[in-house]
Structure 1
Amino acid sequence: MFKDFKLVAGRPVYIQVKDYLKNLIVKGALQDNQKLPSTRELATLLKVSRNSVISAYAGLEDDGFAYTVQGQGSYAVSTSPGSEAASSWNIDWKSRMNGHARLAEELDIMKRGIRAEKGTISFTSIAPDESLFDLDNVKRAFLDRMSVEGNILLNYGYAKGYKPLIEYLQQYMEHKGVNMKGKDILITNGFTEGFNLVLSALSRKNGKVICENPTHQTAIKNLKLHGFGITGIPMERDGIHLGQLEKALSEDTYDCAYFVPSYHNPTGIVMSPEKRQGLMKLMNQYGVPVIEDGFNEELRYSGSHVAPLIATAGGGNSVVYLGSFSKVLFPGLRIGWILADQELIYYLESIKRAQNIHTSTLDQSILYQYLYNGNLEKYLKRARSEYKRKYELTLQCCKEYVPFTTLSGDGGLHLFVTFAQGFNVRVLLEACREQGVIFTAGDIFFTDGGGQHTMRLGFSRVSDEDIRKGIACIGRVARQLMG
C-alpha cells in the first residue's frame, strides 16, 4: 500500500495526499476505524514533507473521512453503505427513458459523426479559429470588471440578464436599423437556449413550422424535439424561393417560421434586400410570426450591410431575433440574446428562470466589458481579413479541383457544394476518410430527407496547406467515383 502515489506538478501537495487517502478509504483499502500511519511515517512512504501530511490529515477530518484520538493518532472513517442489497441494486435506465430522451439521442449526430483521427484534415467545423482569439483584451476585460463589481458578479444574477450588457445590445441592434420601440432583450446561453425558450413558449395550434430547405441542423433537431412538423422551402441563389413559399402558405397554416437570412447555414447564401422585403410581406399577409437566426451577420467580406428581417419589420413586433457572438467571437462564453416584443420577453424571462435561473453573470460581464472597451470592431477587422483570405482560397481550390454542379457561400465560415443528382456524398465521405480527409455530408441539413448529393466545407480552422491538400483529395476521389 502507498506505493502507487504519484505527484502531479502544479497542484498543492497536501490536496493530492488528501485525495489519494480519500480514494483508498472510499475503495475500502483503508477500513473503517483503521489507524492511519503516523504523519512522519506516511511522509517517508510518499516522499513528501511531513507538513503536507499533517495538512492532508486535517483536510480528511474536515471532510468527514478521518478522526483523531488525542495521543493515539488518526483513524479512517468508511463511507461504504454496509448493505449488500443497497450497494448491488441496479436500474435499467435505458428502459426508463421517455420519448423525448429517445428522440434526442436519435437526433444527436455528434454521437454518430466521424471522429477525426490524428492528422486528419477536417472540414467539419464552422467554429472560430482559436489562433485569432483576442486573449489579452479578454483578460483585461475580466480584470476591469472584477475590480469594479467582483463580489456582485460571483453571486446570483437576474434571469433577464446583466443590465449593462442588455443596454449595450439594445444600442447595437439599433445600429443595425432595428426599431426598438416596444421591444426588449433577454440574455441566453447561446442560440440554442434562445431557440428552445421561444419554441417552448409558443402554442402549437397547428404543430407546423415553415423554414428554408436546407437549414440549420440544430434547429431541425429542436423543432422535432418540440413536436413540430417541418415544411422546408427550396433555396435560390439569393435566398428562399418566394413563389414556393407563397404556395405553401396558401395551402396550410403554420405556428411560426424560422429563417437564417445572412450567411445561411449550410448554404452560406445572403438573402437579397428585395427578397427580405418580399418575405416579410408574405409573413404579414398570412399572419405567421418569424424566428430570425442572426447567424454570422458580422462576417461579411464585401458589399454593404444588409438589414436583418427584424429591421425590415419596422415598428411591427412579428419578428423574434436570436443573436449570438459565438461564431464571431468566443463560443466558450455561450452568450446569446433574444430580441422581441416586450410582452413575449416578459413570459420568456419566467421560463428561463424556471429552467436555469440565469446565464452566467461573470461571462456576461466579461463580454460586456470587452465590447465596452471597443475591442469588437478591431477584432472583427482582423477576423474578417483572415477568414476572407481562407474563404477565397477555399473557393479557388473548389473551382480548380471539385466537379461540383453548384457552389454557394457569400461569406461566413463555410461553403456548400452540390454535385449532380444521384451522386452519393456519403460514399465520397467514406472514401475520403480512408485518405485522411473528412467533411460534413449535406443530407443532415435537409428537412425532407434529401441532399444526398451535397456537402458543407468548413474552412475556419483549417490551415492553407490542408485546405489545398484536402480539397484536392475530395476532388480527385469524387472524379474517380463518377468514373
Structure 2
Amino acid sequence: MFKDFKLIAGRPVYIQIKDYMKHLIIKGGLQGNQKLPSTRELSTLLKVSRNSVISAYAELEDDGFAYAVQGQGSYVAPTPPGSETISSWTMDWKTRINDHARLAEDLDIMKRGIRAEKGTISFTSIAPDESLFDLDNVKRSFMDRMSVEGNVLLNYGYAKGYKPLIDYLKQYMEHKGVEMKGKDILITNGFTEGFDIVLSALSKKNGSVICENPTHHTAIKNLKLNGFEITGIPMERDGIDLVELEKALQEQAFDCAYFVPSYHNPTGIVMSPEKRQRLMKLMNRYQIPVIEDGFNEELRYSGSHVAPLIAAAGSGNSVIYLGSFSKVLFPGLRVGWVLADQELIYSLESVKRARTIHTSTLDQSILYQYLLGGHLEKYLKKARAEYKRKYELTLQCCKEFIPYTALSGDGGLHLFVTFAEGFNTRTLLAACHEQGVIFTAGDIFFTDGKGQNTIRIGFSRVTDEDIRKGIEIIGRSARQLMG
C-alpha cells in the first residue's frame, strides 16, 4: 500500500495526499476505525514533507473521512462518505434516449469522421491559427477588466448579456450600415447557440426553411434537430441562384430563410452587392424572414467591405443577424450575438435564460476590453495578411495539382473544389488518408444528398510546406482514381 502514489506538478501536495487517502478509504483499502499511519511515517512512505501530511489529515477530518484521538493518532471514520452504496443495478440508456438525441448522434460527424493521427496533413479545420493569437493583449484585457469589476464578473450575469459589450456591438453593427432603430442584441455562446435559440423560438407553420445548397453543416444539423424540412437552392459564382430561388418560393411556403452571404461555408463565395439587393427584394415580396449568418465577414483580403443583408433591409425588421468573432479572433471565448427586432430579442432573452442563464460574463468582459482597446483592428491587419498569403498559396497549388472542374473561394479560410460528375471524393479521401492527408468531403454540406464530387480544403492551420505537399497528394490521388 502507498506505493502507487505519484505527485502531479503544479497541484498542492497536501490536496493530492488528501485525495489519494480518500480514494483508498472509498475503495475499501482502508477500513472504518483503522488507524492511519503517523504523519511522520506517511511522509516517509510518500516521500513528501510532514507538514503536507498534517494538512492532508486535517482536511480528511473536515471532510468526514477521518477522526483524531488525542495522544493516539488519526483513524478512518466508521462510515466515511461514499462508503455505503445501494446495491447496483444497470440501466439500458439506449432505450431511454429520445428521437432528438438519436438524431443528434446520427448527425454528429465528429464521432464518425477520420481522426488526424500525429503527422497527418489535415485540411479539415477552418478554425483560426493559434500561432497568430494576440496573447499579450488578451492577458492585459483580462487583468484590466478584473481590476475594474472582478467581483461582478465572477458572479451571475444577465441573460441578455454584458451591457458594455452590447453597446459596443450596437455601434460596431451601425458602422456596417445597419439601421439600429427598433433593434436590439442578445449575447450567446457563439453562433451555434444563437442559431439554435432562434430556430427554437420560431413558429413552424409550414415546418420548412429555404437556404443555399450547399450550406454550413452545423446549420443543417440544427435545422433538422429543430424539426425543419430543408429546401436547398444551388449557388452561382456570385451567390445563390435567384431564378431557382423564386421558383421554389412560388411553389412552397417557408417559415424562414437561412443565408451565408459572405465567405459562404463551404464554397467561400461572397454574394455580390447587386445580388444582395435583389435577394432582399425577393424576400420582401414573399414575406420570408431571413436568418443571416455573418460568418467570416471580417476576413476580406481585397476590395471594400460588402454590407450585410441586414443593412440592405434598412429600417425593416425582417432580418435576424447572427454574429461571432470565432473565426477571426479566439473561438475559445464562446461569445456570439443575435441582432434582431427588439420585440424578438425580448422573447429570445427568456429562452436563453431558461436554457443557460447567461453567457460567461468573464468571456464577454475580456472580449469587450480587447475591442475597446482597439486591438481588433491591429490583429485583423496581421491575420488578414497571413491568411491572404496562405489563401493565395493554396489557390495556386489547387490550380497546379488538382484536376478540378470548378474552384471557388473569395477569401476566408477555405477553398471549395468540385470534380467531374460521378467522381467520388469519399474514395479520394480514403486514398489520401493512407498517404497521411485528410480533408472534408463536400457531401455533408448538401441539403439533398448530392455533392459526392466536392471537397472543402481548410488551410488556416496548415504550414506552407504541408499545403503544397498535401494538395499535391490530393491531386495525384485524384488523377490515379480517374485513370
Scaled by the length of structure 1, what TM-score is found?
0.99
Residue in 1 that maps onto 2:417: 417
Residue in 1 that maps onto 2:94: 94
Residue in 1 that maps onto 2:367: 367
Whole-angstrom CA distance in 2 between matches of 1:312 and 1:79: 63
Whole-angstrom CA distance in 1 between matches of 2:395 and 2:33: 70
- Give matches, 1:315-354, under 5 Å: 315-354=315-354
- Give matches, 1:144-293, under 5 Å: 144-293=144-293
Counterpart residue type for residue 133 of structure 1:
F
Structure 1 residue 281: Cα displacement:
0.6
Counterpart residue type for residue 95 of structure 2:
S
Whole-angstrom CA distance in 2 between matches of 1:146 and 1:26: 40
Preserved CA contact (<8 Å) 2:26 2:83: no
Counterpart residue type for residue 206 of structure 2:
N
Structure 1 residue 30: Cα displacement:
1.2
Whole-angstrom CA distance in 2 between matches of 1:346 and 1:145: 28
Structure 1 residue 70: Cα displacement:
2.3
Residue in 1 that maps onto 2:432: 432
Whole-angstrom CA distance in 1 between matches of 2:65 and 2:189: 38
Residue in 1 that maps onto 2:122: 122
Preserved CA contact (<8 Å) 1:390 1:459: yes
CA RMSD in angstroms comes to 0.8
Structure 1 residue 81: Cα displacement:
5.2
Whole-angstrom CA distance in 2 between matches of 1:199 and 1:66: 53
Whole-angstrom CA distance in 2 between matches of 1:271 and 1:456: 19
Residue in 1 that maps onto 2:299: 299
Whole-angstrom CA distance in 1 between matches of 2:259 and 2:64: 56
Preserved CA contact (<8 Å) 2:270 2:410: yes
Whole-angstrom CA distance in 2 between matches of 1:223 and 1:302: 33
Structure 1 residue 80: Cα displacement:
4.0
Counterpart residue type for residue 118 of structure 2:
K
Q: Per-residue displacement from partner, 1:197-242 (whole Å, max 9, x unpaired)? A: 1001000000000000000000000000000000000000000000
Q: Give the stretch that moved more between structures: 422-431 or 18-27.
A: 18-27
Residue in 2 that maps onto 1:132: 132
Whole-angstrom CA distance in 2 between matches of 1:178 and 1:226: 29
Structure 1 residue 59: Cα displacement:
1.2
Counterpart residue type for residue 51 of structure 1:
N
Whole-angstrom CA distance in 2 between matches of 1:357 and 1:53: 41
Aligned residues: 481
Q: Per-residue displacement from partner, 1:117-158 (whole Å, max 9, x unpaired)? A: 110000000000000000000000000000000100000000
Structure 1 residue 276: Cα displacement:
0.4
Whole-angstrom CA distance in 1 between matches of 2:241 and 2:32: 73
Q: Which runs of 5+ in 2 are unaligned?
A: none
Whole-angstrom CA distance in 2 between matches of 1:75 and 1:277: 78
Counterpart residue type for residue 473 of structure 1:
I
Structure 1 residue 33: Cα displacement:
2.3
Preserved CA contact (<8 Å) 1:179 1:314: yes
Whole-angstrom CA distance in 2 between matches of 1:64 and 1:81: 11
- Which secondary structure does the structure 1 equivalent of 2:184 belong to? strand
- Which secondary structure does the structure 1 equivalent of 2:340 belong to? strand
Whole-angstrom CA distance in 1 between matches of 2:205 and 2:464: 50
Q: Per-residue displacement from partner, 1:18-38 (whole Å, max 9, x unpaired)? A: 111111112111122222111
Preserved CA contact (<8 Å) 1:292 1:319: yes
Counterpart residue type for residue 125 of structure 1:
S
Counterpart residue type for residue 79 of structure 1:
P
Identity of aligned residues (%): 83
Preserved CA contact (<8 Å) 2:64 2:81: no
Preserved CA contact (<8 Å) 2:258 2:293: yes
- Which secondary structure does the structure 1 equivalent of 2:210 belong to? strand
Q: Residue 79 in 1 paired to residue 81 in 2?
A: yes
Whole-angstrom CA distance in 1 between matches of 2:170 and 2:76: 58
Whole-angstrom CA distance in 1 between matches of 2:64 and 2:116: 44
Scaled by the length of structure 2, what TM-score is found?
0.99
Preserved CA contact (<8 Å) 1:280 1:313: yes
- Which secondary structure does the structure 2 equivalent of 1:331 belong to? coil
- Which secondary structure does the structure 2 equivalent of 1:332 belong to? coil
Whole-angstrom CA distance in 2 between matches of 1:329 and 1:64: 47
Whole-angstrom CA distance in 2 between matches of 1:71 and 1:167: 65
Q: Give the stretch that moved more between structures: 372-381 or 88-97.
A: 88-97
Residue in 2 that maps onto 1:395: 395
Q: Per-residue displacement from partner, 1:324-347 (whole Å, max 9, x unpaired)? A: 000000000010000000000000
Residue in 1 that maps onto 2:32: 32
Structure 1 residue 67: Cα displacement:
1.9
Counterpart residue type for residue 229 of structure 2:
G
Q: Which runs of 5+ in 1 are unaligned?
A: none
Residue in 1 that maps onto 2:112: 112
Whole-angstrom CA distance in 1 between matches of 2:183 and 2:72: 71
Q: Give the stretch that moved more between structures: 64-73 or 144-153.
A: 64-73
Q: Residue 8 in 1 paired to residue 41 in 2?
A: no
Residue in 1 that maps onto 2:356: 356
Whole-angstrom CA distance in 2 between matches of 1:82 and 1:142: 45
Preserved CA contact (<8 Å) 1:81 1:87: no
Preserved CA contact (<8 Å) 1:310 1:320: yes
Q: Per-residue displacement from partner, 1:168-189 (whole Å, max 9, x unpaired)? A: 0000000000000000000000
Structure 1 residue 432: Cα displacement:
0.2
